Amino acid sequence: MDEKLKNEFINTFLRLRETKSKFLANRDLSWGTLVILMKLERDGNVSGIYEKLHITKPAVTYMLNSLEKDGYITRSIDTNDRRRIDIDLTGKGRELVKANRKSHEVFIDKVLTRFGESSSRDFIRLFNRFADIIDELREEW
């Protein structure tokens, strides 16, 4: 395989990874932490979140500890099942999710407008094919 093509591919992939932080209204927050907050807002739990983020359960626990320390969530023991921990967004957490959701929507609208519908659809198709190939290769390894 052509070395120049490999280098361009790697650089493009790295640039793509960097773009996700540009969606965040609060730059001190990680993408994974925002995803956890949004999932909590949507359905009140984080079960399965480590699979979605492709991280370990201890990493999710670490993020939850940080979110609690920073005042974005509270945790309490479920009164019906003492083995469960209830996690709730605080007002500060809800505001953060709201600000990031709005920022995200505006950013995406601007990107899609500049990129155009045809290029956007091509990108989605190609990126999904890329993700499928990565998944297939992971299974082979």
Band the pLDDT of 23: cuts 50, 70, 90. low
State the residue range of the domain holding 24.
Answer: 3-140
CATH of the domain at 23: 1.10.10.10
Q: What's the number of domains the chain is made of?
A: 1
What does the pLDDT read at residue 54?
76
What pLDDT band is residue 128 in, cutting at 50, 70 and 90? very high
Give Rg (Cα) of the chain.
Answer: 18
Backbone dihedral region for residue 43 (phi beyond 0: left; psi -120 to 50: alpha; all else: beta) = alpha
pLDDT at 13 over 90: no
Q: Give CA angle at 48 (127, 60), nearest 5°.
A: 95
**Span 35-45, pLDDT tens digits:** 889 888 887 77
- Separation of alpha carbons 100 and 76, rounded Å: 26
Contact 46, 38 (CB under 8 A): no
Q: Among residues 110, 79, 94, 112, which one has the least CA distance to residue 34?
A: 94
